[in-house]
Structure 1
Amino acid sequence: MLEDKTPQKTDIASLGEFGLISHLTQYFNITQNSTIKGVGDDCAVLDAKGLKTLVTTDLLVEGVHFNLSYMPLKHLGYKAVMVNLSDVYAMNADASQITVSIALSNRFPLEAVEELYSGIQLACEKYNVDLVGGDTTSSTKGLLISVTAIGHAKEEKITYRNTAKENDLLVVTGDLGAAYLGFQVLEREKQVFEVDPNNQPDLDAYTYLIERQLKPEARKDIVRILSDLDVIPTSMIDISDGLSSETIHICQQSKVGCNIYEDKLPLDPQVISTCEEFDLNSTTVALSGGEDYELLFTIAQSDFDKIKGNPHLTVIGHMTDEASGMNLITRGANQSVPLTAQGWNALLEKNSES
């Protein structure tokens, strides 16, 4: 089949704001019992039926949070939803609704925005959340997308960052560092392409890393797993800015210290091999890479038997008294090194200088 060299490009202005919203949301279905009224009126109407309501918002800006030279619009829509759902799950709650607001320049035809919303719709369907509102407006520079997620939970199950206790175990879901390395691979290939547009990248060796960067999955499953195990975390946070930063948030807000053991950090084999290729320290990447959207939480030691052996969960350390500080216990030498909140941006700057 021949490639269409002249794809259709419909001017958004021909629809008007309300026509655009109606067009983009016509295939979104309502699935949540708590959604009384979704898109189509001045406000959404929700009924949580006695549950507590949780609300979170994130804003993604082109050139700051994403690069459209390698981020497909469908993936961007999907990821924008994941970023917010992850925050709801980090409270040990279930996500139920989202709103989406976008600002876009006139370089985006209707077909491009349809791609963006197809990713949003896929996320809604997969995670069983309803799109119940939002806004569209024009932008003089690129694309901005703001998603608000709404969740619900019983009051006794909601988990905060400031309630960890001394001797609690520190647990992380999944594995760490892959999203940051996926970003590194994509940035390298972008630079190669800019020098030689005929170069075709071979990304087969980095499939997992790139997927973790372009299409992350929020850990909705962990909320259900913990419920089934009858475990309520004593504190929880999602890993968006890096393991070290998020651990420090829990420690500072809970007024405790911690020991993280380097040899316990869960790393995918692709992370290890790609760190060697890029001459990066895998521990630094795991601690400071960010955008993994895994969950980091603490549990009472009495709950250890309930989670041990679960393939989704890894105990990486424990909480200590505040005076002992926040430390990484190194592999082999067993030395104690203070944790630093290096984070995604600082790591990028360091690598760009080296």
Structure 2
Amino acid sequence: MEERTEVTTLGEFGLIDYLTRNIEIQQASTIVGVGDDGAVIDHFGKQTVISTDLLVEGIHFDLAYVPLKHLGYKSVVVNLSDIYAMNAIPTQITMSLAFSNRFPVEALNEFYEGVYAACETYGVDLVGGDTSASLKGLLISVTAIGEVAPGQFVKRSTAQKGDILCVTGDLGAAFLGLTMLEREKKIYLESPGVQPDLENRTYILGRQLKPEARKDIIEFLADQGITPTSMMDVSDGLSSEILHICKQSNLGVVLYEEKIPIHQETKEVAMNFGLDPTAAALSGGEDYELLFTLKQDDYDKITLNENISPIGYMTENSEGAHILTKGGNKYKLVAQGWNAFEQ
């Protein structure tokens, strides 16, 4: 039998002390961290960027196949991705949890191991949070704080006509990882004796269970002296994110299907499921890549980076948003991304 310590034996403050016992401060900007009524942060003349996310069991994650350590890691990463999407560097997070009595201290500790692993990887400090009982399930709220030189933050609404539209990494893999996990869960529920067959698809499963945020791209852009004209992260599918930039910048777009970066494993698994890889990239979500626009003058600089793909260009608003298919047809770009309210 695994050891099981009820949370009630520690009490709320005892639990927080236990879960935060090994924190090491990494950021000079963290003046007061966990253990007081509030954290104190001094960004030494930089501007502060703040983003927050709520993750709810049964809506955003399923503990039938998501290990708690991975969930802790992912909860941090999805928030850091939003800070990078503002062209900023994340420096601190707060983490709040509400959980039912089915979670012993050991389970929460495992979750926090993932949280600390992400903090270490990205050089951020956990400076606060809260814990509460919940009637059922697990609820996670993370706030990420970052810093940026004055006026260097990048919004969604500042793209210009003629700008090149770029995306990092590859798309659609996280959605197919989720599709495979859901299939195996269904099989398991129908026949509990059957071992899950994940077909050694480590890439797409990793993209779903343990995504990474694009710190490397923000560092590359800074090194090259490039400031994107607009930027956001790809969490709800490429098409809906492109349409956000179009709407908020009051522009149209031409997207080239053949330019959308898709991993070979994503293509293979999509075919096996009878899905179109392009549809998975356009509508899948949870890729946590960066979508940004650049002035044409910066094009030569980004060709140095194999993790950045130019996928289209921005046009007059009156021309609308279109995708040009491999077959040469032009279709209106529609948002069929993941919607948190359609359950």
Q: TM-score, normalising length from structure 1?
A: 0.95
AA in 2 matched with 1:342: Q
Amino acid corresponding to residue 256 of structure 1 in structure 2: L
Find the aligned partners of 2:122 and 2:289 in 1 and give their Cα distance: 16
Q: 1:336 aligns with which of 314, 330, 335?
A: 330
CA distance in 2: counterparts of 1:251 and 1:345, whole angstroms = 19
Partner of residue 320, structure 1: 315
Aligned length: 342
Q: In 2, Cα distance between the equivalents of 1:53 and 1:114? A: 30
Higher mean C-alpha deviation, range 337-346 or range 17-26? 337-346
What is the CA–CA distance in structure 2 between the aligned matches of 1:220 and 1:26, rounded to whole Å?
27
In the alignment, which of 189, 196, 217 is matched to residue 194 of structure 1? Answer: 189
Deviation at 1:78, TM superposition (A): 0.5
**Which one-letter code corresponds to 1:325 in the other structure?**
G
- CA-to-aligned-CA distance 1:45-67 (integer Å, 9 cap, x gap): 00000000000000000000000
Q: Given the alignment of the two structures, is residue 251 of structure 1 paired with residue 240 of structure 2, yes or no? A: no
| 2-structure distance, mates of 1:211, 1:198 | 25
Which residue matches 1:109?
104
Aligned-partner Cα distance in 2 for 1:249–1:21: 39
CA deviation digits over 1:95-141, x for unaligned, max 9?
00000000000111000000110000100011100000000000001
d(CA) in 2 for partners of 1:232, 1:345: 30
Mapped to 1, the partners of 2:152 and 2:194 lie a distance apart of 52
Whether the aligned pair in 1 keeps the contact of 2:184 and 2:197 (CA below 8 Å) is no
**Amino acid of the structure 1 residue aligned with 2:230:** S
Q: 1:171 aligns with which of 153, 158, 166?
A: 166
Aligned with 2:201: secondary structure? helix
- Cα offset for 1:188? 0.4
Tell me the alpha carbon deviations over residues 59-109 of structure 1, each in whole angstroms, 9 at most, x when there is no partner.
Answer: 000000000000011011000001100000000000000000000001110
Cα deviations by residue, 1:14-33 (Å, 9 ceiling, x for unpaired): 11111100100111210100
Q: Does 1:122 align with 2:122?
A: no
Matched, 1:290 2:285: yes
1:272 aligns with 2:267: yes
Letter in 1 for 2:32: K
The 5-angstrom pairing of residues 1-354 of structure 1 reads 6-332=1-327, 334-345=328-339
Deviations 1:258-290 (A, max 9, x none): 000000010100111111100001111110100
SS at match of 1:158: coil
3-state SS of paired residue (1:111): helix
The alpha carbon displacement at 1:157 in A equals 1.9
Q: How far is the alpha carbon of 1:206 from its aligned partner?
A: 1.4
The answer (yes or no) to whether the contact 2:171–2:261 under 8 Å persists in 1 is: yes
TM-score by length of 2: 0.98
For 2:307, the aligned partner's letter is H
Residues 161-219 of structure 1, C-alpha deviations (whole Å, 9 max, x = no match): 00000000000000000000000000000011112222112324311111100100011
**Deviation for aligned residue 1:345:** 4.1
Work out the CA distance in 2 between the residues paired with 1:216 and 1:84: 11
Structure 1 outlier segments of 4+, above 4 Å = none
SS of alignment partner, residue 140 of structure 1: coil
Q: Distance in 2 between matches of 1:261 and 1:161?
A: 21
Which SS does the other structure have where 2:244 is aligned? Answer: helix
SS at match of 1:113: helix
* RMSD (Å), alpha carbons: 1.1
The AA in structure 2 aligned to 1:317 is G
What is the rounded CA distance, in whole Å, between the counterparts of 2:26 and 2:297 in structure 1? Answer: 38
Q: d(CA) in 2 for partners of 1:55 and 1:82?
A: 14
